Amino acid sequence: MINIKDLKKEYVEEETTTRALRSVTFSIEKGEFVSIMGPSGSGKSTLLHILSFLDRPTSGSYTFLGKSIDDMDDRELAHVRNKDMGFVFQSFNLLSRLTVYDNVEIPLLYSDIPPSNRQERIEEAVRSVGLAEKLHTEAGKLSGGQKQRVAIARALVTDPNIIFADEPTGNLDSQSGLQVMEVLDTLHKKGRTIVLVTHETQTAEFANRIIRIKDGLVESDKVVTNRQFTQHLK
């Protein structure tokens, strides 16, 4: 699904050049659950922005679903991002006065999915994160963990090929964070491809694979053999 090779990203300000990514190479297959870890300033956020078409690399190659981003203009990138990618953010990004239903509907308003199919999609997405009874509740009345699950439902509603989750437990207590990660784990078991960015080891270990970034380079890329979700079930 994703193949990047010798990816580099530099930011130039006046006479100062900052090398956020120096030479990053890896692939992500359909159906994988991958965590990208690294300390603040390691380049993991820059990498996520490039993977999710929010930024372009300075050099190197990136192919998504077999097509190079060099062959796509900004309009095409935006179309693919809206159609094939779902996003979950640390800060939820919900509209507090809108209901769960209305928040989850938002990506559909910018898609080519006909209105007649939207209700079924929304209800299924909300049901899949365990919040069917909150469908018509205002988002502002939900707990932090529930808000993040609504954000996951919103990411799912367009049936994307991949979900990018950026520090999804960063604003949650440990119990709410566990519930959110269990939702992502369940989605992965149903075949979803998930790329998670986090600095928390416990959160990262829900994935099947952890890529560690340091100083703009891949420090390690390992399969997880002792996953957190399995530990919590014991």
Query: What is the predicted pLDDT for the residue at 113?
Result: 85
Tell me how far apart the alpha carbons of residues 102 and 98 are, in angstroms, rounded to a whole number. Answer: 6
Give residue 234's pLDDT: 37
Q: What is the pLDDT of residues 98-147, one digit of tens each?
A: 999 999 999 999 888 888 889 999 999 999 999 999 999 999 999 999 99
CA dist 68 and 215 (Å) reads 26
Task: Give the integer Cα–Cα distance in Å for 128 and 232.
Answer: 21
Q: What pLDDT sits at residue 225?
A: 79
Please say whether the beta carbons of 213 and 42 come within 8 A: yes
Q: Are 49 and 69 in contact (CB under 8 A)?
A: no
User: H helices of 117-169, where?
Assistant: 118-128, 144-156
Amino acid at 213: I
Amino acid making up residue 89: F
pLDDT < 70 stretches in the chain: 226-234
State the amino acid at position 17 in one-letter form. T
* pLDDT score of 114: 87
Residue with tokens 């963990």: 145
Which CATH fold topology does 28-53+73-233 show?
Rossmann fold (3.40.50)
The CB-side HSE value for 30 (13 A sphere, CA atoms) comes to 8
Note if the pTM is more than 0.85.
yes
* Spans of all domains in the chain: 28-53+73-233
Are 191 and 31 within 8 A, CB to CB? Answer: yes
Task: Report how far residue 155's alpha carbon sits from residue 149's, in angstroms, rounded to the nearest whole number.
Answer: 10
